[in-house]
Structure 1
């Protein structure tokens, strides 16, 4: 699935609560997260930040890049590492099936993406368990915290179905 130009501006709007960069703390995150949430991070910096706050995300999706610059993978404990290919501005069947597979494994699971992970927030929202919280970075703004609801799930599926 390719991201058409007409959907790009709409995806710049956060899917959930935007916590501004200077307000991102362990308590600002945990205070907005339900207890016993299935925590999912999308992005290297987000994953690293959550690990530094003492969270060990159940699913971590990373690509070893930050703002297109190579970086080391975040630390933290993972039980299983999966890999998928996902070029920029796309959501591949490979990435969708890998995400779905990860939800059926014992956490924590890390998916290392060959390509770009940004759009993978959408299939994560579409297929994550009901108690999921998705965290991802909003470039130059802050951290987006999405408590998964049916409304968010439907919006993600709708955007994905609009991609060709």
Structure 2
């Protein structure tokens, strides 16, 4: 069930990075907190190749709306437990919110595999993750964005969720169950 959808007037807001952009995975990892939530197939790939399996990886098998290549797919097909969810493009589903909370509560790295699109998952991930964590996502054709989860970044993410169309109160209640 879709809880939130992206209104046209917010689309530009989501194009600006929510943190610094990195092109060097090792440098990003040296600056990252713990746990790490990775949103995107290519970001997850780079973290794993660098030897750091994200605590939570949110993937959909695509990059720039196209299927990822075989090399990336092979690295993504690991042994980590998977949670399967549906999430339509430009939306955030109840299943995605619940999966984020569930995955963050687990002791082992967990993959959330999205049928549909995972692009907006960064925002609820920042709200759901504990302070001190990091959320990493891809900025197309630029690199990886590192969002430090702080009280301020959580407020900013909550504000973005509240500005989306739909039931923001229900969405925030789901994320508060962590």
Q: Could you tell me the TM-score, scaled by structure 2's length?
A: 0.83
Give the 5 Å matches for 1:13-162: 13-19=16-22, 24-34=23-33, 37-71=34-68, 72=73, 74-75=75-76, 77-162=78-163
1:49–1:162 Cα change, 3 Å:
same
Work out whether residues 133 and 148 of structure 1, in 8 Å CA contact, stay in contact via their aligned partners in 2: yes
Tell me, in whole angstroms, the C-alpha distance in 1 between the residues paired with 2:74 and 2:148: 25
Q: Deviations over 1:17-52 (max 9, x none)?
A: 112xxxx22432123224xx1011100000001101
Number of matched residues? Answer: 158
Stretches of structure 2 lacking an aligned partner (at least 5 in a row): 166-178
Q: Could you tell me the TM-score, scaled by structure 1's length?
A: 0.90
Aligned alpha-carbon RMSD (Å): 1.5
Please state which structure has a larger fraction of its residues in helix.
2
Tell me whether 1:5 sits opposite 2:8 in the alignment.
Answer: yes
